[in-house]
């Protein structure tokens, strides 16, 4: 499966990385490691995670309070959001399919 970012998910990932890195050097890298582990799970089991709309699903990161919002289309996984779990979900509601 191919994994592709849909804007603004890539910007959200970068923002979260920079925030954690500013809190403690190396913590941003730990965040990216956790993110990569979740993406690997998505590639292995793309339909195993929680459905939040007709086509959109989410997977939670293990260590950090973030979820990856995504949908599957054929052989592609589209990452549409990297969402902080304590943020109002209305900010990404227009991205859900």
Q: What is the pLDDT of residues 37-64, one digit of tens each?
A: 999 999 999 999 999 999 999 999 999 9
**What class, spelled out in words, does domain 2-85 have in CATH?**
alpha beta
What angle separates helix 9-23 from helix 27-44, to the nearest 10 degrees?
140
Cβ count within 10 A of residue 49: 17
Give pLDDT, residue 91: 66
Cβ count within 10 A of residue 2: 9
Tokens encoding 65: 């309070």
The burial of 67, by beta-carbon neighbours within 10 Å (0-12 exposed, 13-18 middle, 19 or more buried), is given as buried
Whether the ω angle into residue 8 lies within 30 degrees of 0, i.e. cis, is yes
pTM: 0.91
Where do the DSSP E strands lie in 1-97? 2-5, 50-51, 56-60, 66-73, 76-84
Q: Which residue has the higher pLDDT, 53 or 91?
A: 53
């Amino acid at each position: 499966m191919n994994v592709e970012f849909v804007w603004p998910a890539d910007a959200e990932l970068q923002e979260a990385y920079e925030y954690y890195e500013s809190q403690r050097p190396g913590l941003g890298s730990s965040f990216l490691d956790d993110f990569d582990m979740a993406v690997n799970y998505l590639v292995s089991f793309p339909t195993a995670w929680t459905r939040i709309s007709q086509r959109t699903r989410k997977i939670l990161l293990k260590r950090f309070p973030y979820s990856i919002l995504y949908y599957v289309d054929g052989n592609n996984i589209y990452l549409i959001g990297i969402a902080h779990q304590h943020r109002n979900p209305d900010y990404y509601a227009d991205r859900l399919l």
